[in-house]
Amino acid sequence: MPAFNKPSTQILDNYKILNFVKLNTSDVKIQQVKNTIFIHPNNLDNSMGVFNNIYNLLVQSYPNNVYKKSVSDGLAKININQYNSIKIELPIKKVKTPKVLRPGEAYELYFKSVILDGLGELKTLKEELDIPDNIFNMYHNLTVNLYDSDGKKASIGPVSSVEKVGQLLGKSDINILIKNQSPVKVSLKQGNFSFWSSASTYSTRPKSILESAIQSGKVKIQTSQGLTYFDDNVRGIRVPATTEEIQKYCFGGLSELDYIVINGGNVRKEIKSTDNKFIIHIKADKIYRNRTPSELTRMQPDVFLLIKSNSDGKTSSGLSPYRGLTIHFVNRNHAYDPRNNYVDG
């Protein structure tokens, strides 16, 4: 059983942490490079157990220090930030997530399948009627109608095909192809989404918000090894987004997205008997249209600019020289979740 140190208020340094890791691990190789201590378990199946054990013992042994842990693809990290930027890193076993379980994947597949079903039924009708394409297309087509709880409607058609493009990492998740027109680009968000977007580059507004919050005493910051952190357990500063920010970061500007659809899972199909037009009605919690000022205003209560500490040292350019702080746009639920400990700017 690894030894356990009694709670201490000692200031931690590389030497203390290195000895702590050696004392509380077994069947591992340990290497120190500058301020980073690397742990190499002999068996990657045990990596997460070693990681969680070290983290829990650190918190219990040295409770007056600040710890930030993160687990990414193939690597687990612990940052010890109060007095020195000391890192503990160890490799972990990569677990391949089934494609359908990736965030948003099932929703995108479902949305695409609904439209493909409608196109399939239209194709079946054409085969039954056995008439040329040009004549059939004059009288028969597929339209997708989008509604939300505010009664907003988007009528998209005539639909020729649909593409799932979320894996391309753009704003659009689904492109609905329209005959002889540009595709209609749709962003799909599930009801439990939290982030609208991140901003790697920015102008002066976030920096002004940050410095105003520092000067007024709303937040305190500290710097360690060139990285900036919020003090007193504050994790970020939130302010309402402007309509210009919503246009750029939620919609990707004027040209990237046409609609944002939130929780669009209520589907009803209709065939108009008078002209055999196929209509798919999709009811969503919210639908927002790009390039419409009133829609940007309607979105405002749910979009917040967030300035947040980043344990990986990434920095949004608009916050220079405060290295280690990033800019995000989040929804109201995330911005005001008490577990996140954000403060108003």
Cα separation of 107 and 188, whole Å? 8
Answer whether 122's CB lies under 8 Å from 141's CB: yes
The residue whose two tokens read 């954000």 is: 342
Q: Check residue 344 and give its pLDDT.
A: 94
Per-residue confidence (pLDDT) for residue 149, from 0 to 100:
84
The model's pTM is 0.69
Peptide linkage before 98 cis (omega within 30 of 0)? no
Residues facing residue 41 across a β-bridge: 28
Structure tokens at 274: 């008078």
Tokens of 326: 């990033």
pLDDT digits (tens, 9 = 90+) for 284-305: 999 999 999 999 999 999 999 9
Over residues 334-345, the mean pLDDT reads 92
pLDDT (0 to 100) of residue 184: 96
Q: Which long-range contacts (CB under 8 A, 24 or more apart) does 22-25 make?
A: 24/53, 24/54, 24/57, 25/50, 25/53, 25/54
Q: Could you tell me the CA-to-CA distances from 94 to 69, 103, 288 in Å, in that order?
A: 17, 17, 38
Query: For all residues of the chain together, what is the average pLDDT?
Result: 84
Sign of CA dihedral 286, 287, 289, 292: negative
At residue 103 the predicted structure's pLDDT band, cuts being 50, 70 and 90, is low
Which structure tokens are listed for 82? 């109060």
**pLDDT mean over 170-176:** 92
pLDDT of 17 above 70:
yes
Q: What is the pLDDT of residues 199-221, one digit of tens each?
A: 877 778 999 999 999 999 999 98
User: Where is average pLDDT lowest: 116-120, 225-229, 320-324?
Assistant: 225-229
How are beta strands 195-199 and 325-330 bridged, if at all? antiparallel
What CA–CA distance (Å, rounded) separates 331 from 339? 15
* Per-residue confidence band for 223, with pLDDT thresholds at 50, 70 and 90: confident
Percent of residues, the chain, with pLDDT higher than 90: 31
Which CATH number applies to 14-91?
3.30.460.10
Query: What pLDDT is stored for residue 234 in this prediction?
Result: 87
Q: Which residues contact 308 (CB under 8 A, 6 or more apart)?
A: 235, 236, 325, 326, 327, 328, 342
138 or 163: which carries more pLDDT confidence?
Answer: 163
Average pLDDT over residues 319-344: 90
pLDDT of residue 209: 95
What's the pLDDT score for residue 260?
A: 95
Kindly list the distances between the CA atom of residue 201 and the CA atoms of 249, 315, 316, 334, in Å, as whole numbers in the listed order. 11, 9, 6, 22
Residue with tokens 């040292």: 313
Residues 308-324, mean pLDDT to the nearest whole number = 77
pLDDT for res 15 = 84
Q: Percent of the chain scored above 70 by pLDDT?
A: 89
**In the prediction, which pLDDT does 305 show?**
96
Cβ proximity of 107 and 190 under 8 Å: yes
- Token digits for 165? 């493009």
Distance CA 91, CA 19 (A): 20
Task: Give the strand pairing for 236-240 and 67-72.
Answer: unpaired
> Which of 49-58, 264-273, 336-345 shows the lowest mean pLDDT across its residues?
264-273
What residue has token string 């409608």? 118
DSSP 159-213: EEEEEE-GGGTSS-SEEEEETTSPPEEEEEE-TT--EEEEESS--SHHHHHHHHH
- Is the model more confident about 245 or about 275? 245
Confidence of residue 82 (pLDDT cuts 50, 70, 90): low
Q: For the chain, what are the domain ranges?
A: 14-91, 99-192+265-289, 195-242+300-344
315 pLDDT band, cuts 50/70/90, is confident
In which band, very low, low, confident or very high, does the pLDDT at 101 lie, cut at 50, 70 and 90?
very low
Angle, nearest 10°, between helix axes 14-23 and 47-61? 120
Per residue in 39-62, pLDDT (tens digit) is: 888 888 888 888 888 988 888 888
With vertex at residue 173, the alpha carbon angle to CA 72 and CA 258, rounded to the nearest 5 degrees, is 135
229-263 in b/e form (b: 16+ CB < 10 A) is bbeeebebbbbebeeebbbbbbbbeeeebbbbbbb
The pLDDT assigned to 1 comes to 43
